[in-house]
């Protein structure tokens, strides 16, 4: 086995509805997920002794780490002769609702299936992914998809637009467990966004313009009430000319959608001048590449 370098993409939620708590303790959701060109990197290196080693400068690397958990699950299925060292370099902000940990876990599953020649079936891939987290199954393929249930129902859709996303990390981490515990789901009628998602489910078509016209994230009022910086960033994005803006997942990352590159660039410069980490991103249609990252010994 040779050394391999793999990039794991982030995702944004183009809207998010939380429908209620399930019997298993998770929540049913509806959302449009889209991978974007913001990445973590994972370097896979064989080691002589048996075992799993995860190296990361910014995160705990023990059994609480999703990369370790994914590697351990694949170890039990593949029983390789040699151990593995996985060096994780974070490019995706932590606690931002961008799915970095889930994407990393999917990258580990796909990479070790190839590197260790485990030969998982499609059903096994999904079983392992679901055991690690609700968003992990989506990242096995990536792209743009209507995601529902706890994340296990995934309907991929075509996406032809190449919008400019100005992604802003407002220098706060938000725990998804805190967000779900504090979210109050009202008994409101069907929203325009909900009706749009139902039309996507029925037709298999997702019109980007119609989606942007009705973006809705149930976590946004909660996060904005507790973190005033969120409202300030959204105001900056709107003033810069964003055709839509919202929160990704349960936060804390915010994004503005721009059609014009120059407007997006001006927004990026303005928000960076205010001290926020800002990223200029686009949709990312490619799968996690587990074959093209061969490195010299």
Contacts of 133 (CB under 8 A, 6+ apart): 66, 101, 102, 105, 151
Angle at 172 between CA 287 and CA 64, to 5 degrees: 60
Burial bucket for residue 93 (CB in 10 Å: 0-12, 13-18, 19+): buried
SS3 (DSSP) at 130:
helix
Rounded to the nearest angstrom, the gap between the alpha carbon of residue 116 and the centroid of all alpha carbons in its chain is 26
Task: Tell me which of 40, 104, 113, 135 is the catalytic residue.
Answer: 135
Q: Has 11 been annotated as catalytic?
A: yes
> Residue 135 catalytic?
yes
Selection from 100, 118, 120, 108 nearest residue 290 by Cα: 108
How far apart CA 126 and CA 136 sit, in angstroms, is 9
Sequence-distant (≥ 6) Cβ neighbours of residue 36 within 8 angstroms: 9, 10, 11, 12, 165, 167, 281, 282, 283, 284
User: What are the residue numbers of the active site?
Assistant: 11, 135
């Amino acid at each position: 086995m040779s050394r391999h370098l793999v990039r794991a993409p982030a995702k944004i939620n183009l809207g998010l509805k939380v429908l209620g708590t399930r019997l298993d303790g998770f929540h049913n959701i509806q959302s449009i997920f889209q991978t974007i060109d913001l990445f973590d990197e994972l370097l896979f290196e064989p080691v002589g002794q048996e075992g799993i080693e995860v190296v990361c400068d910014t995160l705990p690397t023990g059994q609480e780490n999703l990369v370790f958990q994914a590697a351990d699950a694949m170890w039990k299925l593949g029983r390789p002769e040699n151990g593995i060292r996985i060096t994780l370099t974070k490019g995706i902000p932590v606690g931002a609702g961008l799915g970095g940990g889930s994407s990393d876990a999917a990258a580990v599953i796909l990479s070790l299936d190839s590197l260790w020649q485990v030969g998982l079936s499609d059903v096994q891939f999904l079983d392992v992914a679901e055991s690690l987290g609700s968003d992990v199954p989506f990242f096995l393929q990536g792209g743009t998809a209507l995601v529902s249930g706890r994340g296990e129902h995934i309907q991929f859709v075509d996406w032809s637009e190449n919008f400019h996303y100005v992604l802003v990390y407002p220098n706060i981490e938000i725990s998804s467990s805190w967000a779900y515990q504090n979210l109050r789901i009202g008994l409101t009628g069907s929203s325009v966004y909900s009706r749009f998602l139902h039309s996507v489910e029925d037709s298999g078509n997702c019109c980007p313009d119609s989606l942007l016209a009705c973006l809705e994230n149930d976590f946004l009022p909660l996060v904005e009430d507790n973190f005033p910086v969120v409202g300030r960033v959204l105001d900056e994005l709107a003033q810069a000319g964003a055709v839509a803006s919202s929160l990704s997942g349960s936060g804390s990352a915010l994004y503005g959608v721009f059609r014009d590159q120059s407007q997006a660039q001006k927004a990026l410069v303005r928000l960076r001048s205010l001290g926020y980490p800002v990223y200029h991103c686009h949709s990312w249609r490619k799968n996690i590449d587990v074959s093209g990252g061969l490195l010299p010994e």
